Amino acid sequence: MKSYTDLTGKYLKGQKKRSLLTIFGIILSVTLLTSIGTIGMSYWDKSVRQTLRDFGDYHVSLNGISGEAVPKVKNNATVKSAGVISREGYAVIKEANEKEKKEDPFAAPYRYLNVKEYDASAMNMLHPQLDSGRYPENPNEIIILSSSLSYFSKQPKLGETITLNLGIRKVASTGEDKKINGLGDFGWDLDETFQAQSQKEYTVVGFMKPSSTGSWSSRYIFPAITFNDNKSIDNNKNYFIYVKMKSLNDIKKKTEDLMSSLQLSNVEQGSAMQLDRESYIENVRIEYNNELLKLYGKSTYEGVNNSLTLAFTAVITIIMICTIAMIYNIFHISVLERISQFGMLRCIGATPAQIRKIVLQEAALLSLIGIPIGILTGTLFMKVLFYNISLLTLGFLNDIRMVISAPVLITAGLLGLLSVFLSAIGPAKQAARVSPLEALKNVGSTKVEKITKIKKSLLVKTLFGIVGQFASRNLQRNKKRFRITAFSMIISIILFIVFSGLVGFIQQTTQISGMQYSYSLSYNGPSGRIDDTVYKHIAKLNAVEQAYKFYNNQVMAIIPKDKINPKYYEFNKNRYVVSEGEGYRTDNNYLTSYGDNGLDALKSKLITGKIDKEKMNQENGVIVQQKITMTTEEGKQLILDQTRFKVGDHIKIRTFDRGQKGYQTVTVVGIVDQDLLSKEYNSSHVVSFITTPKVYSNIMGSDIYSRIFILAKPEISNHMITDYLKSLPEKDAGFNYTDKVEELAQAKNDAKTFSIFFYGFIGVIVLIAFLNIINTVSTNLILRTNEFATLKAIGMTRKEVRKMIILEGVFYGLFSAVIGIILGTALDYGIHLLFTGALDADWVFPWYSIGIAFAGSMITTILATIGPMYRLNKVSIADALRSVN
């Protein structure tokens, strides 16, 4: 031995088992940190790539900037780079002929290309996805959307030249430019005309992919992109500038400053939509690419940044606390066991500082072994996980690739080291405080704590008898150790409840809220109606389980005063202000019909009443849906009825259209709490009257429906449905369909992937707690070997000893479960509130996770006790007694 510090190594070797346990704890913790860091980085990387693809690689876009201002933006000191886009104009690629107009009087008169010029930076930032070919490199080259090809009279091929007449759209009746409204390119006017302004020749160099969110993209106007060499900025033209800032700090202020330097202050601001937004672009002057900014923690919405940072910090903190609890415990026990040895060292002249150094050096040595292994196992663990993900191609992660990041690994290591240091510092100080006298008092033996105060519990005594009382008192011997051990279990329980809550929460938010259906077909053309032949075609398709015509319109209703739920009235007095007749006139009511088959399906949701279509048709029968869920200003979630209609009540309702019929009386024939296609309560303050198509047309004076909901049979391939739905917009650009099949499947996959991660992490945390309990319980028991021998000697049977030890475990479990469940549930609610800044979902009381946590905690603690118990019961009484006497 060269130095006193060599003692460290000797101690560690001397208690191999404990050293291994500590190393194992460190490894687990660093593994966890590394994995979380790696998964975080990989997910971030994936999100960035996806966001760049879907939203573009820029920070903010300035829309409708005049030509003279373009160089000012580009040369602004805060701007790093800017991509410039301008509209070249529309070009007709197909005009409806007379025959088509005859067949369908509402047919779109034209199909257009919407030609825009991108400069090189814009091309890089927005990088349109190509099916084939390349990007245009000079103003004579163009790329067009591949799905527009079928509308050309002669389909252009790559390298061929097309001649486009570029111009503007005019409304014939007024002679004005067609304004692009909120629906933008989707809408057309039947009297729309096209006014050509120039003719240009382009070489087609590429075909663009339809956007990934295809369902709502226009079949009426197709994008085409040509190149702008920025040599000719036209001062009279408006430009869209996509800007990357030098720094993202205070991006909002910088952008506003930039705008005011252009004498454009107080402009409208918003968040960018996905790239195929097209028409939305003109309404807002500044659009922040918030999806991307969010990923850099610089979203212009503070709530989002805070929520995400807090959640991430919370996870890391919890892992560190768990590790610290475990490692502290191990060090604490190991120091306790060596009190007399430290006393001895003090006797022979070691200073407290030297003793502290010995203990801290132990910690350092163990870290040196544990941390690199932890980083390695964490990385390996992730490799395996990612391999599995790529095998299963799970949901949102299927595009993920593993990012091994040096800063993450280093941070994980440093956090691990910090945990170990924080754990060891307390015990090290304790060891340093040992007085030399201790050595003389307990030579060579471990010290059992001195007990001076014990709480007596009558409850425990009556419940578990003398043995139980014993067990409960034994736990009070070293309260600190008891608390720390229970603490690790408590943390596991808290984590479990919180993570389960998060998983549920994510499932809720990724689930499509509102209506649940496979497909929805809607029509936005000028006629506003879907032809019955379309419905009939869909209804008889093999893969269609059900198809519902959706008639829906807002109606005014007079709500009698005594039918308003007073509780609801308290929160929403302003809804009932216009007196009319015996009640208030309200306008947030809908008259709805899902067709006759919809009423049949609604029967299962009926709370009271009866659905008899004949009778409903005769007496204007309606089914009332009046239950809603709402959040009060204090953030309290309420589920309550807005009105208190009962079967047999009469209600006066009328359409908004004054030219139509006046008030008519409907009769309540039934009550439902949820809508036909919904599995949740209505969250908007709406009273719905669901009825037959006949009653609907009686009241509305119209039998138009513009939407069909389709439920597909899960077992049959859906391509018949999708083929048909795809074919509709090609014939009539007013059709759009939404496909929720993939969305639902995707949402399920996402939730599953999240579960795998979350439960994996909880698993490791529970393992840490489990080891901690085994360690503490076995130490507690071994320190008391002599006591057990005495108990046996005076006649306690083996069974009773076993019972006592197991009860100690049970008490650990009980204590941890109760505290953990209370704290976990509270925290779960807290995190829920925290996240409401970023997402919105209901909080559900976590009964299920509480049950599992309770059972798990009991089983874990009992299991942790059994091992040491058997070891202890094997020790012969005589040997144990002899060791003392």
Residues lying near other proteins in the complex (CB under 8 A) are found at 448, 450-454, 465-466, 470, 473-474, 476-477, 786-787, 789-800, 876-878, 881-882, 884-885
The residues, ordered by sequence, that sit 6+ positions from 788 with a Cβ below 8 Å of its Cβ are 781, 801, 872, 875, 880
Residue type, 291: E
- In this structure, what is the dihedral angle of CA atoms 382, 385, 386, 390, given to the nearest 10 degrees? 180
Give whichever of 423 and 786 is closer to other proteins, judged by the CB atom.
Answer: 786
Question: What is the Cα–Cα distance from 769 to 771, expressed in whole angstroms?
Answer: 5
CA distances from 671 to 224, 272, 566, 622, 651 (A): 52, 42, 19, 9, 14
CB of 872 to other proteins, least distance (A): 14
Under a CB-based contact definition with an 8 Å cutoff, are residues 551 and 689 in contact? no
End-to-end CA distance of the chain: give it in Å, rounded: 35
- Cα gap 650→664, rounded to integer Å: 10
Residue whose CB is less far from other proteins, 443 or 826: 443
Q: Which is nearer to other proteins, 252 or 802 (CB)?
A: 802
CB of 792: closest distance to other proteins in angstroms?
7
**Between residues 96 and 448, which has the closer beta carbon with respect to other proteins?**
448
Query: Between 53 and 483, whose beta carbon lies closer to other proteins?
Result: 483
Residues 464, 114: Cα–Cα separation, whole Å:
82
Alpha-carbon radius of gyration of the chain: 36
Task: Return the number of the residue (277 or 477) whose C-beta is nearest other proteins.
Answer: 477
Q: How far is the CB of 347 from other proteins (least distance, A)?
A: 24
Residue 685: DSSP 8-state: S
The nearer residue to other proteins, 36 or 783, going by C-beta atoms, is 783
Q: By C-beta, is 340 or 593 nearer to other proteins?
A: 340
Identity of the residue numbered 463: L
Phi/psi of residue 184, each to 5°? 50, -125
CB of 455 to other proteins, least distance (A): 10
- Can you read off the two tokens belonging to residue 792? 């046996």
Minimum CB–partner distance for residue 335 and other proteins (Å): 20
Q: Given the DSSP bridges, would you call strands 286-288 and 627-631 parallel, antiparallel or unpaired? A: unpaired
Residue 853 identity: A
**Closest to other proteins by CB, 100 or 800:** 800
Q: How far is the CB of 451 from other proteins (least distance, A)?
A: 5
| Residue number, 20 or 884, with CB nearest to other proteins | 884
CB of 470 to other proteins, least distance (A): 7
Q: Which is nearer to other proteins, 2 or 455 (CB)?
A: 455
- The number of helices, as runs of H, and strands, as runs of E, in the chain is 25, 25
Give least dist CB 778 to other proteins, A. 19
CA–CA dist 421, 362 (Å, integer)? 10
Closer residue to other proteins, CB minimum distance, 536 or 871: 871
**Which CB atom, from 336 or from 695, has the smaller least distance to other proteins?**
336
Least distance between other proteins and beta carbon 367 (Å): 36
Question: Vertex 169, ends 165 and 173: CA angle to 5°?
Answer: 135
CB of 329 to other proteins, least distance (A): 21
State in angstroms the smallest separation of the CB of 23 from other proteins. 33
* Beta carbon nearer to other proteins, 647 or 881: 881
Smallest separation, CB 25 to other proteins (Å):
29
CB of 461 to other proteins, least distance (A): 10
Between CA 633 and CA 611 the distance in angstroms is 38
Least distance CB 795 / other proteins (angstroms): 2
Closest CA to 227 of 324, 141, 318, 313: 141
Q: What is the DSSP letter of 520?
A: E
| Both tokens assigned to 503 | 């998983």
**Helix (H, G, I), strand (E, B), or coil: what is residue 884?**
helix
| Residue 547 contacts residue 539 (beta carbons within 8 Å) | yes
Of the pair 380, 443, the CB lying nearest other proteins is at 443
In the complex, minimum distance from the CB of residue 640 to other proteins, in angstroms, rounded to a whole number: 54
Q: How far is the CB of 460 from other proteins (least distance, A)?
A: 12
C-alpha–C-alpha distance, residues 457 and 66, integer Å: 82
In the bound state with other proteins, the residue whose beta carbon lies nearer, of 475 and 630, is 475
Give the amino acid at 797: T
SS3 179: coil
Tell me the C-alpha distance between 55 and 665, whole Å: 50
How far is residue 121 CA from its own chain's centroid? 33
DSSP collapsed to 3 states, 588-642: EEEEEECHHHHHHHHHHHEEEECCCHHHHHHHCEEEEECEEEEECCCCCEEEEEC
- Six token digits for residue 53: 């693809």
> How far is it, in rounded angstroms, from Cα 501 to Cα 823?
13
Q: Which is nearer to other proteins, 16 or 453 (CB)?
A: 453
Sign of the dihedral defined by the CA atoms of residues 421, 423, 426, 428, in that order: negative
Distance of CA 72 to CAs 5, 249, 259, 398, Å? 68, 21, 10, 43
| Residue 83 CB partners (closer than 8 Å, separation 6+) | 58, 118, 119, 120, 121, 122, 123, 124, 125, 126, 241, 242, 243
Nearer to other proteins, 338 or 784 (CB): 784
For the CB of residue 791, give the shortest distance to other proteins in the complex, in Å: 7
Instruction: Write down the least CB distance from residue 508 to other proteins, Å.
Output: 49
Q: What is the DSSP string of 725-781?
A: HHHHHHH-TTEEEEEHHHHHHHHHHHHHHHHHHHHHHHHHHHHHHHHHHHHHHHHHH
Rounded Cα distance between 257 and 251, Å, is 10
